[in-house]
């Protein structure tokens, strides 16, 4: 049984986002992502084989989807489903206080 306070014991800010796999069960994987101002490199698009559902727990972030050039602003409590192969990028994340995401991946 896994128990964790996702807003506690944040990793120290670094050049990259901090990814941590929390639990992985029956093909469903939960990750905590802590962002401190990072964004996807210019021209980069994620194209993932898994469905990803993200929930913002703290901070702020902006996602962009290629289809329709859609921008989504996330604040705490925002949930976004990213279907498999939906090309997207992280336009911006709040640095301080850090931005904390819960991401759930599955096929």
Beta carbons of 23 and 2 less than 8 angstroms apart: yes
Q: Is 102 left (phi over 0), alpha (psi -120 to 50) or beta?
A: beta
Is 83 a binding residue for a copy of itself by CB under 8 A? The answer is: yes
Give the distance, in angstroms, between the CA of residue 72 and the centroid of all CA atoms in the same chain. 13
Is 3 a binding residue for a copy of itself by CB under 8 A? The answer is: yes
Is 72 a binding residue for a copy of itself by CB under 8 A? The answer is: yes
Is 23 a binding residue for a copy of itself by CB under 8 A? The answer is: yes
Sheet of 28-35, strands arranged across: 18-25, 28-35, 99-106, 51-58
Beta carbons of 74 and 80 less than 8 angstroms apart: yes
Is 5 a binding residue for a copy of itself by CB under 8 A? The answer is: yes
Is 101 a binding residue for a copy of itself by CB under 8 A? The answer is: no
Is 80 a binding residue for a copy of itself by CB under 8 A? The answer is: yes
Is 49 a binding residue for a copy of itself by CB under 8 A? The answer is: no
CB of 75 to a copy of itself, least distance (A): 7
Q: Retrieve residue 61's tokens.
A: 């972030």
Q: Which residues bind a copy of itself (CB under 8 A)?
A: 1-8, 22-23, 25-26, 28, 30, 51, 53, 55, 57-58, 65, 72, 75-83, 86, 100, 102, 104, 106-107
């Amino acid at each position: 049984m896994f128990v964790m306070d996702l807003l506690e014991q944040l990793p120290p800010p670094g050049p990259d986002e901090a990814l941590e796999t929390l639990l992985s069960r029956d093909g469903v994987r939960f990750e905590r992502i802590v962002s401190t101002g990072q964004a996807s490199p210019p021209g980069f698009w994620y194209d993932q084989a898994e469905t990803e559902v993200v929930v913002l727990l703290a901070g702020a972030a902006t996602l962009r989807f290629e289809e329709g050039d859609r921008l989504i602003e996330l604040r705490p409590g925002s949930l976004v489903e990213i279907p498999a192969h939906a090309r997207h990028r992280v336009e911006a994340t709040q640095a301080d206080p850090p931005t904390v995401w819960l991401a759930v991946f599955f096929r």
